[in-house]
Amino acid sequence: MMSKPPIVFLHGTNAGPWTMETFSDFFQSRGFECHSLTYRHHELPDSEERSRALIGTSIKDYVDDVAAFIDRLNQRPIVIGHSLGGLVAQLLSSRGLIHAGVLINSSIINGTTPTTDMERALGKLFMSAGRFWEMAPGQDFELLAAYGLNTMPEKQQHEICDRLSTESGAVLFELFFWMYDVNQTTKVDFSKAKAPLLFLSGSEDKVVPPSTSRTMADRYGDLAEFAEIPGRCHYMQLESGWEHIAQQSLDWIERQ
């Protein structure tokens, strides 16, 4: 009997492996070998050193680092990625490096356009932020509460926001303005993306709403399955009742 594939957990922007601890503990308790990775420079505390290191860092750097880690495993892993981690999983799939992917409110890939007024408003906010791609922006509480933590109690919103840190502005540019990215960093080669993917989308996510997530999943045809999770926000793996989403993910994995 083949052993279970290992699972690699990937976090979102401004974050760290702590945002994936609930799922990591869940799958480890069910016999999976689990690895929670930290993106380049994200282990550094908030400081001038961290900002200097992050400036100019690309999503490609994150993908290359995860790919190098996967090369050291004895088989292709399942990747469970949140937000940016879901995008990284898709890019890894197009390199033929993963067995399957569970994407929790995945960030958009090249060619995915906004479907809601709130998404378009978020893009306009970045446009008004100056040359943010040459910076390492931090996380604004009001923006995060409105877009990513909108179904959570205020106390939990503050607890999460306080643990988030700065992110490469170049990464944010590649995410939100892929049409102007000369490197086309987030472009997926669908001819090479063969791994099955489960797109999990919180119905109340304002960052990547279900209407946008579904259009992204549809581009994979039969390789992708889409599931909308009622009443959940962008950080739904940290919401009360996350166990049901983890179990849904496990059930899907066991069918692959």
Distance CA 18, CA 102 (A): 18
Note whether residue 2 is domain-resident: no
Mean pLDDT per 10-residue run, the chain (256 residues)? 87 98 98 98 96 97 98 96 98 98 98 97 92 95 98 98 97 97 98 97 98 98 98 98 98 96
DSSP string of 222-244?
A: GGEEEEEETT--TTGGGSTTHHH
- Give the whole-angstrom CA distance, residue 9 versus residue 80: 5
Kindly report each contact of residues 36-42 with a partner whose C-beta sits within 8 Å and lies 24 or more positions away, as own/partner. 36/8, 36/9, 36/11, 37/8, 37/9, 37/10, 37/11, 37/65, 37/66, 37/69, 38/11, 39/11, 39/65, 40/65, 41/168, 42/11, 42/15, 42/16, 42/165
The pLDDT of residue 45 = 95
Owning domain of residue 68: 7-255
Our count of domains for the chain comes to 1
Q: Is residue 173 a part of any domain in this protein? A: yes
39 token code pair = 């993106």
Decide: 99 and 75 in contact? Cβ < 8 Å: yes
Indicate whether 91 belongs to any domain.
Answer: yes
pLDDT of residue 74: 86
Asked whether residue 183 is assigned to any structural domain, the reply reads yes
Judge whether 1 lies within some domain.
no
CATH code, domain with 112: 3.40.50.1820
User: Would residue 116 count as lying in a domain?
Assistant: yes
Instruction: Show the tokens assigned to 197.
Output: 């993917």
Rg (C-alpha) for the chain, rounded Å, is 17
Q: What is the pLDDT of residue 2?
A: 61
Query: At 12, phi and psi to the nearest 5?
Result: -95, -170
CB 106 within 8 A of CB 199: yes
DSSP 62-87: HHHHHHHHHHTSSSPPEEEEETHHHH
**Domain-located, residue 110:** yes
